[in-house]
Structure 1
Amino acid sequence: MMRERYFKGPVFAVAPMMDWTDRHCRYFHRQLSRHALLYTEMVVADAVIHGNREKLLGFDPAEHPLALQIGGSEPEKLAAAARIGASWGYGEINLNVGCPSDRVQSGAFGACLMLEPGLVADCVDAMKQAVDIPVTVKCRIGVDEQDPEVALDALSDRVLAAGADALWVHARKAWLKGLSPKENREIPPLDYDRVHRLKARLPDVFVGINGGLKSIDDAKAQLAHVDGVMLGRAAYQTPGILAEVDAAIYGDGASLIDERSAAEAMMPYLEAMARRGEPVHRATRHMLGLFHGRPGARRYRQILSTEAARRDAGPEILARALFEIDRTEAAAA
């Protein structure tokens, strides 16, 4: 039986990244791409239920399309957290079944849930019953000694039977014993073919791929095999990539923007932050890699890294940093 598609066309997403994809980062990324799907940092279900919701869940409407990633392993709590997320206006709830950090393991969720596909299915079922927006799963191809051929199919089949609308797969194993979270992002070998085989087996299911993708060319190559691509560190560390997304992935050349225009678009946002007494470096720290490889980029980063951290800093700091880009590029012309 044909499933209703999660998205009708190819999807480019920026991965959920702890300490990085907060609301300020997402607002900045939105200045570079109108269409990229943005994800929050992972928020633990207990925090959603009991914590400061404005701090944890608040976002600017301009951030849409926007998904909330939740961590947890108790169906009732995940259902409650999903219901809260939907009420806040998120367009998708994503369950984290891929994070390998010690903190996540101690809470019995994240990548260790690859070992319990039945429990993940129960979680998805509870979340689907709680909300009427898409519920998706982000996972690894396996953990530790699991055979990815068996483990990924087992998890996928169970969560899809429970109603999951899409699968996002980080094309690496996670080694819960012996590797740090950073090492888990780099050492386990990438196996894109395993994800391609999953998609070939599930032609009516949205399958997206994540892990090691560094460019728009990488993304386009993957879209020959899967429905969606998700970039993490490359999109964050060299955000200029995102300026190519709308034209290259979505065929929307009308929204094409250059890096400097995207930076200028952040000025009113920084002004609003300064007016309410919020340190502007909370936003500018996400902009450090914007001019990567261009003349003046080093001085631009220095200004934002040091001067934006001052208590009285405002949008004029970004203006000074941009002046260094202009000055250096003019001198090099």
Structure 2
Amino acid sequence: MLYPSARLAVAPMMDWTDRWCRLFHRALTRRTLLYTEMVTAPAVIHGDRRKLLGFFPAEHPVALQLGGSDPAELAEAARIGAAFGYDEINLNVGCPSDRVQSGRFGACLMQEPALVAACVAAMKDAVDVPVTVKCRLGVDDQDPETALDALADAVLAAGADALWVHARKAWLKGLSPKENRDIPPLDYDRVVRLKARLPDVFVGINGGILDLDTAEALIARGLDGVMIGRAAYHDPAILAAADRRLYGEPGADADLLAAVDAMRAPIAEHLANGGRLGHVTRHMLGLFQGRPGARAWRRILTEGAVRPGAGLEVLDEALAALTRETERTRRPSAA
């Protein structure tokens, strides 16, 4: 069962956590729960399902995040997602974008806990895998003390298996989606209080978590899981220690070069099927963040991936530059 064992997750991030990103992250951590980008229920029902929902078997455990507010549509989309093999179906009640608001889903649903509960109940009736909710503390002028409790109590009564809480309010009026990721202040204490009130419920936290030290500290405060977003994307090497530190797995941390090597065969297959190198390597740019040769690694992958016919030789070139710089910094300086 995913819950209550999902101690670390990589957040769903639009335009970022596609199947290639998730496969790469899986090369760094076997246990961390991975999320898709948000997909709307109508898109799942009417769109190209293989393109929207396809994933690699190696990605497990992997969760599908849905957006929507129509219980029947969400139930059908959840049923389709479960049939594809996803380990969890998650309902987005946290995204503050204008497009999401106009479609009556995402963070604006914090104002309609009864509707969210109806959606969860319909999804639970449709699938056997866990159905979870990712929400905010509240929106606009809502009081986070009452808004979060109201949403949590409603969806749990409807059968939700877990709550992931982005520990900020969302301001639907006056802030852009980008600003909503940073400007509203974080309030980890509010999520800790929610967990204390709901000791038998899985409560995970998201928002502004930059490293595993912070993740461990939040779990030590009683939270069940921690979800890392942009930090895991820009510096994916932090995931290399996740299995050992968050899950107690024995053995060494994941080797970064081995993670690169694990991507070779999938990249080769993607290229053979007409795909482009940059579809994959754009998610790998930050792997050596802060290490000798990181700048050369990023430059070569960025510039090389757009060349016509770019293939694995670009990856080899970037690795060679990384190795040269690493060896240069290790040489003792001349007396």
**Structures share fold, TM-score greater than 0.5:** yes
Report the AA paired with residue 68 of structure 2.
G
Matched, 1:271 2:268: yes
Residue among 206, 211, 221 paired with 1:215: 211
Structure 1 Cα separation of the partners of residues 86 and 320 of structure 2: 37
3-state SS in 2 of match to 1:223: helix
Structure 1-normalised TM-score?
0.97
Q: Residue 203 of structure 1 aligns with which residue?
A: 199
3-state SS in 2 of match to 1:113: helix
Q: Residue 146 of structure 1 aligns with which residue?
A: 142
Structure 2 Cα separation of the partners of residues 311 and 230 of structure 1: 37
Residue among 147, 151, 168 paired with 1:172: 168
What do residues 3-22 of structure 1 show as CA deviations (whole Å, max 9, x unaligned)? Answer: xx862345100000000000
Residue 256 (structure 1) shift: 2.4
Moved over 2 A (4+): 253-256
Q: Residue 117 of structure 2 aligns with which residue?
A: 121
3-state SS in 2 of match to 1:203: coil
Q: Residue 225 of structure 2 aligns with which residue?
A: 228
Q: Residue 289 of structure 2 aligns with which residue?
A: 292
Residue 320 (structure 1) shift: 0.9
Contact 2:162 2:202 in 1 (8 A): yes
3-state SS in 1 of match to 2:169: strand
Matched length: 329
Structure 1, gaps ≥5 residues long = none
Report the AA paired with residue 227 of structure 1.
D
Structure 2 Cα separation of the partners of residues 197 and 75 of structure 1: 30
Residue 259 (structure 1) shift: 1.3
Q: Residue 304 of structure 1 aligns with which residue?
A: 301
Q: Residue 254 of structure 2 aligns with which residue?
A: 257
3-state SS in 1 of match to 2:324: helix
For the aligned residue pairs, the C-alpha RMSD in angstroms reads 1.0
Matched, 1:321 2:318: yes
Report the AA paired with residue 276 of structure 1.
N
Residue among 240, 244, 247 paired with 1:243: 240
Residue 274 (structure 1) shift: 1.2
Structure 2, gaps ≥5 residues long = 331-335
Percent identity between matched residues is: 66
Residue among 58, 62, 65 paired with 2:61: 65
Q: Residue 11 of structure 1 aligns with which residue?
A: 7
Structure 2-normalised TM-score?
0.97
